[in-house]
Structure 1
Amino acid sequence: MLSPELFSTKQRILGAAEVLFARHGFAGASLRQVTSAAHVNLAAVNYHFGSKENLINEVFRRRLDELNAQRLQALSAARTRSSLTLESVLAAFVRPALALSGDDHGGAAFVRVLARAYAEHNERLRQFLHDHYGHVLRQFASAFGELLPHLDKQELYWRLDIVSGALTYAMADFGVIKRRGVTPEQHRDIAVDHLIKFAAAGLRAE
């Protein structure tokens, strides 16, 4: 088991890397910048991660393991109810992601890192994400397919790609809707409701 000191060092490195990758991209942020921001030496990065590629992967794993566990738990709970609905599956997919974006401990930075993963052509990172989290998307696609039998597989995946894009946009808190007279938590709840309604209508369309 890691000592508290080693655990703290590892988390400092991950936190610094997350912020720098969000700001400069994966290629633009150097290990030297990461070590400087985390107040550690290069040996500490090598000890905990071995390489920059592994550090990038662990930045994602730190957030996505928990996020996708919450998604699958919510999907399982939705399946135990009397009838599975499109809205309940969408809520299981959307709500944990928007909660992550509002996490005060680096959630906003991670959303920008996630956007970098979509924008930058890092094939190794894409393969890592596919290998470790592809099964989660397949479980959701299966649930959506049960509820949308009029869509063939290709059309379903097109629509789910669009829903995922809209979710990423909402997580980044872009857009013209401003927070007026509501707390950040209330704003996220409103965003969840609107996104579910919009996505459900698009998925159901003939």
Structure 2
Amino acid sequence: MATTTHFSTKDRILGAAEELFAQFGFAGTSLRQVTSRADVNIAAVNYHFGSKENLVNEVFRRRMDDMSRQRIDALKAAITQHPGELEPILAAFVEPALALAQDRHGGGAFVRVVARAYAEKNDTLRKFLSDHYGHVLREFAKAIAGCVPGLSKEELYWRLDFLAGALTYAMADFGLIKRPAGVGEKAHRERCARELIRFAAAGFKS
């Protein structure tokens, strides 16, 4: 019973923090707001996370650890099953992220948190993301380079950066093309993935 309570308290804090960071940003959210939303005291936040900085990091880790594993697993499968083909590699990068964005258990809030990370100059957070997830981008860069050997390393990373930006935009559903009436979320997400992969493939090959 203690283990369940331990998990649920930590998870409640993370969920509250994610919602508040999405709404008010990192600098605009206080620990007092988090404790009020999660219905815990400040000691619980200090016990589980130690600081607001660690809390921010753990909000990202909770979502991105799983997404990174899914991306790497899909990348390995793409390289094995479709050697030399660019589109399956791009699909391995794009599809897990779009699936996360449509996760009904807070996926939308997390996407807004990602958008906040782009908008706010938080060097500590950027270092955390680079240290923990930079290897994922490097693995994809290496795989993509094998498909487009004519690209310089600088060109490759520019285009990968543009892909990451376009993907974030698509995840946040900022675009002009909304889900049509009568089209399910899964079908709309698959169409979005196909169009983004085609767009990115053309960009890398040009």
Q: What TM-score do the two structures reach when normalised by structure 2?
A: 0.97
Helix, strand or coil at the partner of 1:28: coil
Identical positions, percent = 66
Q: Which residue of 2 aligns with 1:195?
A: 196
The RMSD of aligned alpha carbons is 1.1
Question: 2-side partners of 1:141 and 1:3: how far apart?
Answer: 41
- 1:36-71 per-position Cα deviation (integer Å, ceiling 9, x unaligned): 000000000000000000000000000000000000
1:179 Cα offset (Å): 1.4
Paired positions, count: 205
AA aligned opposite 2:198: K
1:120 equivalent in alignment to 2:120 = yes
**Could you list the per-position Cα deviations for residues 47-104 of structure 1 after superposition, in whole angstroms to 9, with x for gaps in the alignment?**
0000000000000000000000000000011121152311000000000000000000
Q: Is the 8 A contact 2:145 2:151 kept in 1?
A: yes
Aligned to 1:59: 59
The aligned runs of 1:1-206 (5 Å cut-off) are: 3-180=3-180, 181-205=182-206
**Aligned residues of 1:94 and 1:167 also touching (Cα < 8 A):** yes
**Superposed displacement of residue 176, structure 1:** 1.2
Equivalent residue letter for 1:92: A
Q: Name the SS of the counterpart of 1:40 in structure 2.
A: coil
| 2-structure distance, mates of 1:82, 1:204 | 17
- 1:178 CA drift (Å): 2.0
CA distance in 1 between counterparts of 2:172 and 2:57 reads: 21
What secondary structure, in the 3-state scheme, does the structure 1 residue paired with 2:71 have?
Answer: helix
Counterpart CA distance in 2 for 1:95 and 1:2 is 37
**Distance in 2 between residues matched to 1:108 and 1:144, nearest whole Å:** 29
SS in 2 for 1:160: helix
Maintained 8 Å contact 1:159/1:203: yes
> Secondary structure in 1 aligned to 2:27?
helix
Is contact 2:82–2:88 with CA below 8 Å preserved after alignment? no
- Secondary structure of the residue that 1:27 maps to in structure 2? coil
The amino acid across from 2:3 in the alignment is: S
Q: Distance in 2 between matches of 1:176 and 1:45?
A: 40
- 8 Å CA contact retained: 1:86, 1:200: yes
Q: Does structure 1 conserve the Cα–Cα contact (< 8 Å) formed by 2:78 and 2:89?
A: yes
Gaps of 5+ in 1: none
For the 8 Å contact 2:84–2:146, the answer to whether it is kept is no
Instruction: Please give the per-residue CA displacement for 1:156-193, whole angstroms capped at 9, x wherever unaligned.
Output: 11111111110000000111112112001111000000
